[in-house]
């Protein structure tokens, strides 16, 4: 457990000893070490979050962070939520600066999952707040910092590709919740996620068709005053003026339109039940 805590506190595991051996080399030499370390640490840290830390995370108390060390900030609630999870929750108020600070200080928090398998990005996908938007547009650079720390043996899967207990990625959750901003970013960030299937054999396109929470183009007034992140700039004008969320999903993975879920329905059949018709154009 101590090894993982050091890793999550941004310790440098690439420094070599006089024998030219780094902590990372030792970890790799042990069978299943990473999985054992992750499981034991989760058990130890769950339920350790103090009321003061919980309150600081939902109120966005940045000064609180400077008064405590990283190990204290890694503690979790009984549900396995870390302080990023709670900062994104509906109860939080004005947490944007708090989120920026904690992502910079302990980026690995973005990759942690709670008891339901949700990362903080899953929470952000369900929310329509400025804090959720901040976390979403930061996820790519934050995960890169996790990799730069040498923590890939703990968290090799990008948070936008992580499936929760229902098999949903953050994109599934964003479309189910009607979070247009998050859905747009996630499709542009990694369009392969549009083909990921959950426990009910639903792709994100199925979820869009089933819930139809976003009736118009995704790019709305809610983020018009903010610049797009670099990975979106190449298509910013086309996306904001022409393509709907349905267009983007089909463009990312046209084959998803022909896949059947556990009810035997394709996404066009779900749309047909809602009196929505789409015309599929295949090469």
Helices of type H across the chain:
2-8, 23-28, 33-45, 51-59, 62-66, 70-73, 83-88, 96-105, 120-126, 130-148, 170-177, 180-189, 204-211, 230-233, 236-241, 245-252, 267-273
Tens digits of residue pLDDT in 249-278: 777 777 777 677 777 776 666 665 555 444
Task: Work out the average pLDDT over 201-210.
Answer: 88
Q: Please check whether residues 76 and 209 belong to one and the same domain.
A: no
Q: Please check whether residues 134 and 5 belong to one and the same domain.
A: yes
pLDDT of residue 189: 94
Q: DSSP 3-state assignment of 223?
A: helix
Q: Of the ranges 156-165, 174-183, 243-252, 274-283, which one carries the lowest mean pLDDT score?
A: 274-283
Q: Please check whether residue 19 lies inside any domain of the structure.
A: no
- Gyration radius (Cα) of the chain, Å: 20
Q: Do 113 and 164 form a contact (C-beta atoms < 8 A)?
A: yes
Q: Whole domain around residue 2: which residue ranges?
A: 1-13+31-157
Q: Please check whether residues 5 and 138 belong to one and the same domain.
A: yes
Q: Please check whether residue 26 lies inside any domain of the structure.
A: no
Q: Please check whether residues 173 and 261 belong to one and the same domain.
A: yes
pLDDT of residue 150: 78
CATH code of the domain containing 182:
1.25.40.20
Q: Please check whether residue 216 lies inside any domain of the structure.
A: yes
Q: Please check whether residue 118 lies inside any domain of the structure.
A: yes
- Within 8 A by CB and 6+ apart from 84, the residues are 57, 99, 102, 103, 109, 110, 112, 120, 123, 135
pLDDT of residue 255: 72
Q: Please check whether residues 190 and 121 belong to one and the same domain.
A: no
Please say which residue of 130, 157, 184 terminates a domain: 157
Q: Please check whether residue 18 lies inside any domain of the structure.
A: no
pLDDT of residue 251: 76
Q: Please check whether residues 7 and 136 belong to one and the same domain.
A: yes
Q: Please check whether residue 23 lies inside any domain of the structure.
A: no
Tens digits of residue pLDDT in 51-67: 999 999 999 999 999 99
How far apart CA 123 and CA 167 sit, in angstroms, is: 15
Query: How many domains does the structure of the chain reveal?
Result: 2
Q: Please check whether residues 152 and 167 belong to one and the same domain.
A: no
Q: Please check whether residues 93 and 213 belong to one and the same domain.
A: no
Q: Please check whether residues 174 and 101 belong to one and the same domain.
A: no
Please say which residue of 157, 186, 216 terminates a domain: 157
Residue 149 has pLDDT above 90, yes or no: no
DSSP string, 31-44: TTHHHHHHHHHHHH
pLDDT of residue 235: 40
pLDDT of residue 28: 63
pLDDT of residue 64: 95
Residue 48 has pLDDT above 90, yes or no: no
User: Which span out of 21-30, 116-125, 188-197, 273-282 was modeled with the highest average pLDDT?
Assistant: 116-125
* Of residues 169 and 31, more confidently modeled: 169
Q: Please check whether residues 130 and 183 belong to one and the same domain.
A: no
- Within 8 A by CB and 6+ apart from 11, the residues are none
Q: Please check whether residues 63 and 199 belong to one and the same domain.
A: no
Q: Which two tokens stand for residue 57?
A: 């995370």
C-alpha angle 160/118/253, rounded to 5°?
Answer: 35
Q: Please check whether residue 266 lies inside any domain of the structure.
A: yes
pLDDT of residue 93: 81
Mean pLDDT of the chain: 76
Nearest to 90 by CA among 62, 60, 61, 128: 128
How far apart CA 11 and CA 229 sit, in angstroms, is: 29
pLDDT of residue 24: 59
Please say which residue of 122, 157, 192 terminates a domain: 157
pLDDT of residue 231: 35
* Of residues 157 and 278, more confidently modeled: 157
Q: Please check whether residue 41 lies inside any domain of the structure.
A: yes
- C-alpha pair distances (Å), 66 with each of 15, 77, 146, 169: 27, 21, 21, 33
Residue 29 has pLDDT above 70, yes or no: no
Q: Please check whether residues 153 and 167 belong to one and the same domain.
A: no
């Amino acid at each position: 457990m101590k090894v993982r805590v050091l890793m999550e506190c941004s310790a440098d595991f690439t420094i070599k000893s006089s024998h030219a051996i780094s902590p990372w080399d030792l970890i790799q030499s042990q069978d299943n070490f990473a999985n054992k370390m992750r499981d034991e640490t989760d058990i130890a840290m769950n339920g350790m979050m103090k009321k003061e830390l919980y309150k600081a995370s939902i109120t966005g108390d940045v000064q609180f962070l400077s008064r405590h060390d990283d190990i204290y900030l890694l503690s979790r609630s009984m549900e396995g939520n870390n302080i990023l999870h709670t900062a994104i929750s509906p109860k939080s108020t004005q947490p944007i600066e708090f989120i920026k600070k904690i992502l910079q200080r302990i980026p690995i928090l973005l990759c942690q999952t709670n008891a339901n398998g949700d990362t903080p990005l899953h929470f952000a996908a369900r929310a329509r707040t400025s804090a959720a938007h901040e976390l979403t547009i930061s996820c790519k650079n934050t995960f890169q910092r996790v990799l730069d720390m040498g923590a890939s043996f703990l968290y090799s899967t990008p948070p936008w590709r992580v499936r929760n207990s229902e098999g949903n990625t953050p994109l599934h959750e964003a479309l189910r919740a009607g979070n247009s901003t998050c859905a747009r970013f996630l499709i542009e960030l990694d369009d392969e996620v549009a083909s990921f299937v959950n426990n009910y054999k639903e792709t994100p396109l199925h979820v869009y068709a089933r819930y139809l929470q976003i009736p118009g183009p995704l790019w709305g007034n809610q983020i018009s005053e903010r610049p797009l992140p670099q990975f979106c700039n190449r298509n910013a004008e086309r996306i904001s003026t022409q393509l709907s969320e349905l267009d983007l999903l089909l463009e990312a993975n046209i084959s998803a339109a022909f896949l059947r879920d556990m009810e035997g329905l394709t996404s066009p059949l779900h749309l047909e039940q809602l009196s929505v018709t789409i015309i599929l154009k295949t090469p």
